[in-house]
Amino acid sequence: MSGASSCLDESDPNALTVEQALERILAESAPVSGIETLGIAEALDRVLAQSVAARIDVPPARNSAMDGYGLRSGEGRAGNVLRVVGVSAAGHPWDGTVGPGECVRILTGAVVPDDVDAVVVQERVSVNGGGQVTLEADVPPGANIRGRGEDTRAGTVILDAGRRLTAADIGLLASQGIGEVAVVRRPRVAFFTTGDELVPIGQPLGPGQIHDSNRYTLAALLKRYPVEFVDLGVIADTEDAVRSALTQAGATADLILTTGGVSVGDADYVSRLLQQEGQVGFWKVAMKPGRPLAFGRFGSALFLGLPGNPVSAMATFSLFVRPALLRLSGTEATPPWTLRARLQEDLRKAPGRVDFQRGILEQCDGGWVVRSTGGQGSHQLRSMSLANAYIRLPAESSGARAGEDVDVIPFQSVF
């Protein structure tokens, strides 16, 4: 069996459920104020501050959906012979007339002449000598013609305020000739880690020391969101050093993120200072990994103190920091995508906390299957690298058996 080895109940009456904790965080995470104007080339992933309306009809004129021949639909009977009187190509419309017994060669995207109300695809005609074609099938009115404004009508709202711009949105704006948009200012995030045991990359480890991985993990995660962030580094385990870092961050940031120092140890100055000089919303959540999660305010900033163990830090980031960042940036904090998958092995856990065990999710025979990455210790960062999903086991359960369907949260929906 994989997962927790203890069968003791881990219930804590002072801990919030995941849902309660998230509700409190989002209630305090109002969108930041401030708007800036950006060129659309720099606007990918930014959040619109104002809705955008179409300036022009798209397409701006009737055009052909296919390479073929444009004609009057009254001439569109199989066996009719038509004379080709011109060519309409994309960017080079035919400006003549098309009369009875006539047609115009037309290419995909080309403007349809006023006299034409049907296009026959080129595969359904025979090209004769002398500039004539013979229809091999009937052509109904409107065939293969895109109407003016069929995609978008001028004045129609095409993108709503609060939308995080995708590559397709950028293309849509460009198709309207819109070169700039008003976007929400990016939230400012300040983060630091605490712990005298942490050593920067490139320096040798001494007794009892480890390399600082959490700061690099947080920076990598934050790069996926429309935020500005500043890394305040590793802060020494002294009350003055932690106070200085919190004061600096609280004066300049919209959100402070820390890892470590939020438990109840003698050197856990973060939680102590938050209680003494800030505001505490809560500091325990009934989840594993990640129970010691502190939330509140310090200075003018929201505060989220993540656990120091790297897996716990990533789990709490994905479930709590991510939605807070989305809300702060002015967009919707969508819930993570959850699916059901067939478990390939037994998993154990102690009742009392919801478990988010690391798993490997795959498709098999048209369905989803999932297995554990193995060890589930909150210090085992390699398991996060191997995993692509959380296996969510309810608080009241003692685990799950191979063959059962379990809830699975793909990482792509939370990171």
Distance between CA 25 and CA 160 in Å, rounded? 25
Contacts by 35-42, CB closer than 8 A, 24 or more apart: 35/182, 35/183, 35/184, 35/185, 36/182, 36/183, 36/185, 37/180, 37/181, 37/182, 37/183, 38/180, 38/181, 38/183, 39/179, 39/180, 40/170, 40/173, 40/174, 40/178, 40/179, 40/180, 40/181, 41/170
* pTM of this structure: 0.84
The whole-number pLDDT of residue 265 equals 55
Q: Is the per-residue pLDDT at 403 higher than 70? A: yes
Summarised one tens digit per residue, pLDDT across range 145-186 is: 999 999 999 999 999 999 999 999 999 999 999 999 999 999
The whole-number pLDDT of residue 211 equals 87
149-170 burial code (b ≥16 CB/10 A, e <16)? beebeeeeebbebbbbbeeebb
The DSSP line for 332-375 is --PPPP-EEEEESS-EE--TTSEEEEEEEEEEETTEEEEEE-S-
Q: Is the Cβ–Cβ distance between 25 and 304 less than 8 Å?
A: yes
The whole-number pLDDT of residue 3 equals 47
The whole-number pLDDT of residue 394 equals 96
The whole-number pLDDT of residue 377 equals 84
Quick check: bond before 307 cis, omega within 30? Answer: no
Residue 128, SS3? strand
- 77 burial (CB, 10 Å; 0-12 / 13-18 / 19+) is exposed
Q: Is the Cβ–Cβ distance between 274 and 296 less than 8 Å?
A: yes
The one-letter amino acid at 379: H
Q: Determine which helix (DSSP H) or strand (DSSP E) holds 191, and give its type and residue range.
A: strand 188-194
Summarised one tens digit per residue, pLDDT across range 77-127 is: 999 999 999 999 999 999 999 999 999 999 999 999 999 999 999 999 999
Per-residue pLDDT band for 54 (boundaries 50, 70, 90) equals very high
Q: What is the dihedral of CA 181, 182, 185, 186, to 10 degrees?
A: -30
Residue 107, SS3? coil
**Domains identified in the chain and CATH numbers:** 2-34+185-328 (3.40.980.10), 35-58+151-184 (3.90.105.10), 63-146 (2.170.190.11), 339-413 (2.40.340.10)
**Residue 32 in tokens:** 């930041």
Mean pLDDT of 326-344: 95
User: Can you say how many angstroms the Cα of residue 169 is from the centroid of all Cα atoms in its chain?
Assistant: 14
The whole-number pLDDT of residue 380 equals 86
Q: Where is average pLDDT lowest: 61-65, 279-283, 328-332?
A: 279-283
The whole-number pLDDT of residue 5 equals 42
